[in-house]
Chains A and B, each alone.
Chain A
Amino acid sequence: MKELINKVGFPRFIISVFLICLIMLAIYLKIPLSGLISDILVRFGMNAILVLAMIPGIQSGIGLNFNIPLGIIFGLIGALISIEFQLSGFTGLFVSIIIAVSLAIIAGYFYGKMLNKIKGDEMTVGNYVGYSIVSVMCIFWLVAPFTSPELIWAYGGNGLRVTVSLESSIAHVLNDFWHFYIGSVRIPTGLLLFFGFCAFIIWIYSRSSKGLSMIVAGSNPQFAISNGINVDKQRIKGTIISTVLAAIGIIIYSQAFGFLQLYNAPLYSAMPAAAAILIGGATLKKATIIHVLVGTVLFQSLLVVALPVVNIVAEGSMSEVIRTIVSNGIILYALTRKEGELA
């Protein structure tokens, strides 16, 4: 038993046991499993790219990138612009991604520059820089010069809507692409393929010489310098990739969700992503695609299964409470480990 726990890792063991209990409870309560599995697949596809955004940050040595909101803001801007020009379907999706990525590269570059000046405090600073940017953007959403009736309040009120419906533009584009059913489980092929594509690029990149020098710069800066690697440059590169992935991630998230969430919505978006990759077994120093896969599947299944079960067993917004405890608990656990130890 002890060996098993050591091999799987303590947090993953606890969460798996908890998840299995919930699933058994769900079967006992006659909640249809096929619906749950469909939900898990969609939620996995929605969140996985945001979790993937954590990898370059950890690899290049800036730790958990708590400034995911920076990328998310530009993802939202990209989507807003494509709606403003009344683009829909795949055109809309790709135009928003292209705009978002180009903006995110610029922002990521400057954010990376800043991070190089504050080595050692990236996580605390990143968190509050993220919060500040989200609150500045709240003012921007109020005064932004968008005119499409989809985006602004129908009458009265200033600025953009709090939630923008994507029904007439890019909602469910990827979810519905090549989707099929196994039994009554719906497979959102496009969504999963898109994540696979992103994950594949990150995987190939981390195998290439450029990616390797980034990983070396992150895991052992002194060694990297002695090998002629420009550590600061590698860290900027990692920050840019992370910001870009966050920008793409929120577009994919929003198209699956069906709404763009503006104003304060991006504020706490980094916590679930960071929690997911840590649940998957990543540490503050090391992260791979496997950690993203395992972590996102475990974390999202937990949330999906907990919701109907808890609503029957107890009242109130318990699944939100579970999410808070699990996600912050795992981050806390990782922060209090000694460097390099497995989380």
Chain B
Amino acid sequence: MIVPIVFLVICIVGSFFTGLPGGFLVNEMIVRLSRNLILVLSLLLPVITGLGLNFAITLGAMAGQIALIIITNFTIGGTNGLLLSLLLSTPFAIIFGFIVGKILNKATGKEMITSMVLGFFANGIYQLVFLLMAGTVFPIRNESLLLPSGVGIKNTVDLAGIKYSLDHLIPFDKIDLPFFQWLSEYPVCTFLFTLLIFILMGYFLKTKLGQDMRAVGQNVEVAAVSGINVEKTRVISVVISTVLAAWGQIIFLQNIGTMNTYGSHVQVGLFAVASLLVGGATVEKASWKEALIGTFLFHFLFVISPLAGQNLFGNAQIGEYFRVFIAYGVIGLALVLHAWEKDKAKITISDI
């Protein structure tokens, strides 16, 4: 529990130096939690199944973005657009997740670095498809999506059609009561959806398949002996993780309202992993509590660090770099500590 406490202290101290009003911070955090929780949640299953931190949720984010490009191409907006994009992203995410799972099964013991390189590799393919093939191989109907030359998707795609379509799904602002007017400013529906996913995840972990995943995560040999198909369980775990990441990315982008075609997905894995670890999760153990605490603390730090840097050092850039350092540093530290403990455990066994 030491990691979240340290970060909590940094956050509290830092927030004094920002001079930001508490109300602003609370509002900012509510929005950030609503758009990031599902992405962080998507990391849980691979950790439980013993695959470590799945940096390849980038591929899930790509699946989400592919679906968003498709609905923008056919100019379908509003709630229909959102539901359609969630629906469309799922088959893509299942295929990507299946491929990732198969590849990770081939790299047993090196899953994390493999998933990371896989993310970079997939990013290359993604760029190839959307820079070179969109408009040539794949016909694009909506010309506002294309670069002026007619080949390749623009760097920024306007998602005005589906902006806030989940956040404001329930029209509270139509009810003329102060409470509902107040409520309508917050992404209530997104939180309900996130809650639903949390509950379903908790339920899933109690099913046979969920228990199998825990068993595989704890000890592969024992799981295999007791008749669990280890490789299949690992693949399913990655598939679910990728699908959740796809949905998470769509929900993230419907809140932002614009999509950076070649950039929005790149940092998804990094920030989600850092969030989970800040919450006190390890490479082997993570639960919804750590996801929730970690997302809150990490993004709180994200909000305050530029201003804190400005006020403490007279340079906002220091704060900017500091938060990048936090993201990388916390992952680095968590990995070092985890590997260290694993190594120590090895020594004690051989001493016996």
Binding site for B on A (CB under 8 A): 66, 114, 117-121, 123-125, 127-129, 131-132, 134-136, 138-139, 142-143, 158-159, 271, 314-318, 321-322, 324-325, 328-329, 331-332, 335-336
24 contacts between A and B (CB under 8 A): A117-B343, A118-B336, A118-B340, A120-B342, A124-B110, A125-B339, A127-B113, A131-B328, A131-B331, A131-B332, A132-B328, A135-B325, A139-B318, A142-B318, A142-B321, A143-B318, A159-B317, A318-B128, A321-B124, A332-B103, A332-B117, A335-B107, A335-B110, A335-B114
A129–B325 alpha-carbon span in the complex (Å):
10
Q: Which chain A residue shows the least CB distance to B103? A: A336
B3 within 8 A of A: no
Tell which of A123, A125, A316 touches B332, judged by Cβ atoms closer than 8 Å: A125
Residues from chain B with a CB closer than 8 A to the CB of A66 are: 113
B125 sits at the interface (CB 8 A): yes
Alpha-carbon distance A315/B333, docked complex (angstroms): 41
Closest B residue to A117 using CB positions: B340
Indicate the member of A119, A132, A138, A315 with the most B CB atoms within 10 Å. Answer: A132
Complex partner residue of A127 from B116, B322, B325, B329, CB under 8 angstroms: B116
Which label, helix, strand, loop or mixed, suits the secondary structure of the A interface? helix
The CA of A138 and the CA of B323, in the complex, are separated in Å by 11
Residue in B closest to A323 when the chains form the complex, CB atoms: B124
Contacting residues, chain A, for B114 (C-beta < 8 A): 332, 335-336
Neighbouring B residues of A132 by C-beta, 8 Å: 325, 328-329, 331-333
> Residues of A contacting B117 with CB < 8 Å?
328, 331-332, 335
Closest to B273 in A: A128
Q: Closest B-chain residue to A339, C-beta based?
A: B109
* B206 vs chain A, min Cβ distance (A): 31
Give A269 Cβ to nearest chain B Cβ, in Å: 13
Q: Bound complex: CA of A264 vs CA of B125, how far in Å?
A: 23
Q: Is the CB of A332 within 8 A of B339?
A: no
B131 at interface, CB cutoff 8 A: yes
Decide: B339 and A118 in contact? CB cutoff 8 A.
yes
CB distance from B56 to the nearest CB of A (A): 11
Return chain A residues, CB-CB under 8 Å to B315: 142, 158
List 6 additional contacts besides A117-B340, A129-B332, A336-B107; criterion CB under 8 Å: A124-B113, A125-B332, A128-B328, A136-B325, A316-B132, A332-B103
CB neighbours (8 Å) of A316 from chain B are: 131-132, 147, 151-152
**Cβ-based interface call for B324 (8 A):** yes
Docked complex Cα distance between A132 and B321 (Å): 11
| Least CB separation from A310: chain B residue | B132
**Contact (Cβ within 8 A) B131 A321:** yes
- On chain B, the residues within 8 Å of A117 by CB distance are 339-340, 343
Residue in contact with B106 in the complex, picked from A125, A128, A131, A336, CB distance below 8 Å: A336
Among residues of B, the one whose C-beta sits closest to the C-beta of A119 is B343
Q: Is A139's CB under 8 angstroms from B325's CB?
A: yes
Q: Are A315 and B121 in contact (CB under 8 A)?
A: no
Rounded to whole angstroms, the CA-CA distance of A167 and B120 in the bound complex is: 34
Contact of A124 (CB < 8 Å), options: B112, B149, B151: B112
Of B110, B127, B336, the contact of A114 (CB 8 Å cutoff): B336
Given contacts A117-B343, A332-B114, contact A321 B335 (CB under 8 A): no
Q: Which of B128, B336, B343 contacts A120 (CB 8 A)?
A: B343
Task: List the A side residues contacting B343 at CB < 8 Å.
Answer: 117-120
Shortest Cβ distance from A6 into chain B, in angstroms?
A: 20
Q: Decide if B18 is an interface residue (CB 8 Å cutoff).
A: no
Query: Closest residue to B123 on the A side, CB-wise?
Result: A324
Partner of B149, one of A158, A315, A318, A322: A315
Counting CB contacts under 8 A, is B8 at the interface? no
Q: Separation in Å of the A57 CB from the closest CB of chain B?
A: 14
Interface contact A121-B339, CB-CB below 8 Å: yes
